[in-house]
Amino acid sequence: MAIAVPMAERDVAPVHCCDFIRSASGRNILFVGAERVDEFADAMRAVRRGHRVLVVNPRETAAARAFRSQRGRFARARIEDLPRIGSGFEVICENYPYPSGPHSAPIRAFAHARLARLAPGGRWILFTESARLATALRMLVEYDADVRRRFVLELARVRLHQAPPSAYPPVPSRFRLIFERCR
């Protein structure tokens, strides 16, 4: 089975996407949907570590403009609109997406837009407070043979302090999903 579902109960755990990036510099990293100052600070930490970082969001916030003024790369776009680059991104980071509303895509299309842009061995790291989204993505891996063959999913329920901050109503825990593309 390609799914691991541990309960993260340790007091010390990675909180930001940068905490999951392997130390070697020069990786292609994509931050999807970043809007807040802390998300751009995480992206800038990756830049300072020598990675090639791109942040995408169809909405440009003040934090995005500040990031750009520090020579960060920001594109006002959806991930679905990005051209594919070389072998792909080694890391895709995404905090609290809401694939719903008038511009929503079915869960398979939502996930495929990210998974298709991962390099071999690359990881899509997603934090969400939505049990519904976490379950839908887990079910995608369980029932889609192509996804299950090409990706491994680690799904963990984490405490609030083990996840990036969120402005949404507090819930007792969050979910961290890490999809890793098989080499």
pLDDT digits (tens, 9 = 90+) for 100-125: 655 566 899 999 999 999 999 999 99
Q: In this predicted structure, what is the pLDDT of residue 151?
A: 97
Tally Cβ neighbours within 10 Å of residue 155.
Answer: 19
Work out the average pLDDT over 79-95.
Answer: 90
**Would the pLDDT of 19 be above 70?**
yes
d(CA 24, CA 126): 21
Q: In this predicted structure, what is the pLDDT of residue 103?
A: 56
Residue 52 pLDDT level (bands cut at 50, 70, 90): very high
Q: In this predicted structure, what is the pLDDT of residue 101?
A: 59
pLDDT tens digits for range 151-168: 999 999 998 888 888 877
Domain ranges of the chain: 3-181
Mean of the per-residue pLDDT values for the chain? 87
d(CA 123, CA 154): 10
Could you say which architecture CATH assigns to the domain 3-181?
3-Layer(aba) Sandwich (3.40)
Residue 22 pLDDT level (bands cut at 50, 70, 90): confident
Q: In this predicted structure, what is the pLDDT of residue 10?
A: 45
Tell me the β-bridge partners of 3: 153
